[in-house]
Chain A
Amino acid sequence: DGGITQSPKYLFRKEGQNVTLSCEQNLNHDAMYWYRQDPGQGLRLIYYSQIVNDFQKGDIAEGYSVSREKKESFPLTVTSAQKNPTAFYLCASTKGQKNTEAFFGQGTRLTVV
């Protein structure tokens, strides 16, 4: 079955450590996105990528980094520079056209301890 997979589902990190969240899709989608969601809040765009080896900053990119070396994969690294990283992180993918909906992973809940 085609879909988008995020791992792990829950992640705990000590302050000052970098951590990488995985996102893989087998839908052959061109575009991939990372969003952050705080409790009771909306989705804020961190980074997005339309093609391999290219990505753009979203609205809250500071303290995060990404790579897009393969079409299927778009990992997100939460660096120690991110002051308040505890949140729910959602990865999405879409075809390139504006009239196509996004497919989402199940999310990763990151907690800094």
Chain B
Amino acid sequence: AQKITQTQPGMFVQEKEAVTLDCTYDTSDQSYGLFWYKQPSSGEMIFLIYQGSYDEQNATEGRYSLNFQKARKSANLVISASQLGDSAMYFCAMREGREYGNKLVFGAGTILRVKS
């Protein structure tokens, strides 16, 4: 079964507008970590934001925020005031299992294109 599901293969957004990238996850653990990464066309992986399963507040990092709905098992990424440089592939990822000895798994990704 898929651990991480990103249902939007591709998204378009107008420059300066906000966009939400969806992510749902599947785990039976109470303790887990959720991550978002950005991958530009160069192929490098850039860490954006982290949300812990016990965190009560939604994580924010600059223009990035994470809409964490634990009961729904969703961890959507919100990018505010989109810029042309935000055009990239975006991946949701999760670490679950033991505190040491866990593994990091990724979703299929969403390609975001920002239009001027």
A74 close to B (CB within 8 Å): no
B102 at the interface (CB under 8 A from A): yes
Answer whether residue A76 sits at the interface, using C-beta atoms and an 8 A cutoff: no
Which residues of B (36-83) have their CB < 8 Å from a CB of A? Answer: 43-45, 47, 50, 52
Which chain A residue lies CB-closest to B51?
Answer: A99
B44 engages A107 (CB within 8 Å): yes
A96 touches B100 (CB 8 A): yes
A103 to B111, CA, bound (A): 21
How many residues of chain B have a CB within 8 Å of chain A? 28
Residue of A at shortest CB range from B107? A42
Chain A residues bordering chain B, tally (CB within 8 A): 30
Chain B CB within 10 A, most for which of A88, A97, A98: A98
Contact call A98/B95, Cβ cutoff below 8 A: yes
A56 interfacial contact with B, CB 8 Å? yes
Is there a chain B Cβ closer than 8 Å to A110's Cβ? no
CA distance A98 to B98 in the complex (A): 8
**Chain A residues whose C-beta falls within 8 Å of the C-beta of B93 in the assembled complex:** 102
A42 adjacent to B103 (CB under 8 Å): no
Check A43/B106 contact, CB under 8 A, given A98-B95, A99-B33, A99-B52. Answer: yes
Q: Which of A43, A48, A90, A104 has most chain B Cβ within 10 Å?
A: A43
Nearest 7 pairs of A and B residues by beta carbon: A104-B45, A42-B108, A96-B100, A43-B106, A98-B95, A101-B47, A98-B33
Question: Other CB < 8 Å A-B pairs besides A98-B31, A98-B32, A99-B52, 15 of them?
Answer: A30-B100, A33-B104, A41-B109, A42-B107, A42-B108, A43-B91, A48-B103, A58-B103, A94-B104, A97-B100, A98-B102, A101-B50, A102-B104, A107-B43, A107-B44
Residue positions of A touching B, CB distance < 8 A: 30, 33, 35, 40-45, 48, 50, 56, 58-59, 88, 90, 92, 94, 96-104, 106-107, 109
